[in-house]
């Protein structure tokens, strides 16, 4: 049995083939202060069981917390009991730290915590991660504070976990510990690097390690609420990031990296530093490093030909672009801050340098007219010559108006939500009904695919649209969970 001060686990369900980064960061952070930590990826263990009986039921139950067949709940309970038994046979921790990646990890977290407390009540449990407060229109720390009051967990940490966990272990209190008054760290120069030594990396299909170079965003897009969480855009130096990539690749023999950043090129100074160092490394490296992440569209004046040359040499193998719309007027309202000319120049340079692109799109923005929608289709028609680099188009479902976004804060007086964040109407564009938005989404998917692009199937998103349409037709409220739907996969977390 492995004795440790802290056992850090990531829990289901997160749909990823990559090793989640948070436990590795926490392990490295506490061990530099003399604590002994172990990590275990319960999410990965669960995903490995995808061929077993009841996997789909368990995935849906852990993701949504409900089922249309109450007689099956014992299957989830038995799974949790088995997990806890195996976990506590292998580890003897003073603290159990549970990384809650998204709200779809909440059900598993609560069941796991209750079972641990039932079996070994003296183990202290702390939960943290974006998932403890993310719950759509009811976003708060209500869920996790309830668990604390019921003594299911001992503590919770909101944000900046690698700092707050040290405060918790040393003195039992601090910023963001059992409260929402956390403080953003403005210095991201990380030492030590995430510690994956407990992970069986050879088992992960993704063959990538995650890396974080910045937090926050330099944009304030109207539909996004990230600025509500990260008040400032902070970033590491390019040299610091490249040092981590090189060191981690040497340590773990993994040469592909996935940036968790909202924007890899948010700071062009840091970005140029990064690609200069990585290009120099790759020129002489036996095993070249590659990377991908989310990117801002920048025209040739902001991101010049030399930048593009170094981007390719540094190992960029895919860039995800928030293009959102082919209409410049729609993007202007979104505050995307790039023109059609900028986008043309960006895609042309990506093609010249053979850097693959993913287009992230939004269908049915409040100001989107029929002409704006046609502009989007015309954009894809124009870019057919670049299909060799535009390898993927993601359409999602349709736009939901989220609280805390500029759309809700600045234009709320012109929007009627009509019982749901997806059911809104905009008084200055009354033709854009929910029905019309669904129609445009379906047309976009069909037409763009006909042009020869690889359009994400988005099966779950299409199911969601069918489900929401039925709710809308019945004039029902779009809640956090709809318990009446017959299909768990169609239940909607707002």
CB neighbourhood size of 307 (10 A): 19
Torsion region of 368: left, alpha or beta (phi above 0 gives left; psi -120 to 50 gives alpha) = beta
Q: Which domains does the chain have, with CATH numbers?
A: 2-171 (3.40.50.280), 208-456 (3.20.20.70)
pLDDT for 419: 67
Distances (CA, A) of 90 to 3, 51, 131, 256, 392: 9, 25, 27, 31, 43
For residue 38, what is the DSSP state?
E
pLDDT for 142: 84
Residue-wise pLDDT tens for the chain (494 aa)? Answer: 899 999 999 999 988 888 999 999 999 999 999 999 999 999 999 999 888 888 988 988 898 777 767 788 999 999 999 999 999 999 999 999 999 988 889 999 999 999 999 999 999 999 998 888 754 434 467 889 999 999 999 999 987 888 899 999 999 988 889 887 777 777 778 778 999 999 999 999 878 999 999 888 888 898 887 777 677 888 899 999 999 999 999 999 999 999 999 999 999 999 999 999 999 999 999 999 999 999 999 999 999 999 999 999 999 999 999 999 999 999 999 999 999 999 999 999 999 999 999 999 999 999 999 999 999 999 999 999 999 999 999 998 788 887 778 888 888 889 887 766 788 899 999 999 989 999 999 999 999 999 999 998 766 667 667 767 776 776 655 543 332 333 333 333 22
CB neighbourhood size of 230 (10 A): 15
**Could you write out the DSSP letters of every residue in 225-272?**
-HHHH--S-EE--HHHHHHHHHHHHHHH---EEEE-SS-TTSSHHHHH
Instruction: Identify the burial level of 225 via C-beta atoms within 10 angstroms of its C-beta, where 0-12 means exposed, 13-18 middle and 19 or more buried.
Output: middle
pLDDT for 482: 34
Write phi, then psi, for 45 (nearest 5 degrees): -60, -40
Nearest to 484 by CA among 69, 61, 68: 68
Sign, Cα dihedral of 44, 50, 56, 57: negative
For residue 312, what is the DSSP state?
H
Q: The whole model's pTM is what?
A: 0.84
Q: Where are the alpha helices (DSSP H) in 65-209?
A: 73-90, 106-119, 142-149, 161-171
| Tokens found for residue 27 | 């392990």
pLDDT for 226: 77
CB neighbourhood size of 283 (10 A): 9
């Amino acid at each position: 049995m492995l004795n440790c001060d802290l056992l850090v686990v990531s829990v289901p369900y997160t749909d990823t083939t990559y090793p989640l980064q948070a436990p590795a960061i926490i392990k490295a952070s506490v061990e530099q202060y003399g604590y002994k930590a172990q990590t275990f990826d319960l999410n990965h263990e669960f995903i490995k069981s995808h061929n077993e009986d009841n996997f789909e039921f368990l995935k849906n139950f852990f993701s949504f917390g409900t089922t249309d067949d109450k007689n099956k709940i014992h299957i989830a309970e038995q799974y949790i009991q088995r997990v806890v038994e195996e976990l506590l046979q292998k580890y003897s921790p003073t603290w159990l730290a549970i990384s809650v990646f998204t709200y779809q990890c909440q059900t598993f977290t609560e069941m796991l915590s209750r079972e641990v407390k039932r079996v070994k009540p003296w183990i202290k449990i702390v939960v943290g991660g974006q998932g403890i407060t993310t719950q759509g229109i009811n976003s708060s720390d209500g869920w996790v504070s309830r668990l604390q009051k019921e003594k299911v967990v001992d503590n919770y940490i909101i944000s900046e976990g690698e700092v707050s966990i040290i405060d918790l272990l040393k003195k039992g209190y601090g910023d963001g510990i059992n409260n929402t008054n956390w403080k953003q760290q403005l210095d991201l120069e990380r030492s030590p690097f995430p510690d994956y030594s407990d992970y069986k990396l050879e088992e992960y299909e993704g063959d990538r390690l995650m890396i974080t170079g910045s937090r926050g965003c330099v944009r304030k897009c109207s539909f996004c609420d990230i600025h509500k969480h990260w008040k400032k855009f902070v970033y590491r130096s390019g040299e610091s990031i490249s040092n981590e990539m090189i060191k981690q690749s040497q340590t773990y023999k993994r040469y592909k990296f996935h940036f968790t950043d909202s924007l890899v090129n948010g700071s062009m100074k840091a970005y140029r530093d990064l690609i200069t160092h990585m290009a120099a490394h790759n020129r002489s490296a036996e095993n070249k490093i590659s990377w991908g992440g989310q990117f801002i569209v920048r025209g040739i004046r902001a991101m010049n030909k030399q930048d593009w040359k170094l981007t390719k040499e540094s190992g960029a193998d895919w860039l995800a672009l928030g293009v959102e719309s082919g209409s410049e007027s729609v993007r202007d309202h979104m505050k995307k801050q790039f023109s059609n000319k900028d986008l043309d120049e960006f895609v042309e340079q990506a093609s010249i340098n053979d850097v693959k692109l993913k287009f992230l799109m939004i269908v049915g923005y409040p100001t989107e007219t029929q002409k704006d929608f046609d502009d989007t289709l015309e954009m894809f028609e124009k870019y057919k010559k670049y299909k060799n680099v535009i390898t993927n188009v993601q359409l999602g479902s349709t736009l939901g108006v989220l609280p805390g976004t500029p759309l809700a804060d600045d234009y709320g007086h012109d929007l009627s939500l009509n019982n749901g964040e997806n059911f809104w109407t905009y008084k200055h564009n009354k033709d854009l009904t929910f029905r019309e938005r669904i129609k445009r989404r379906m047309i976009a998917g069909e037409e763009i695919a006909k042009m020869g692009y690889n359009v994400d199937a988005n099966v779950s998103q299409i199911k969601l649209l069918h489900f929401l349409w039925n709710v809308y037709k019945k004039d029902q409220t779009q809640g956090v969970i709809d318990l009446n739907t017959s299909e768990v996969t169609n239940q909607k977390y707002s």
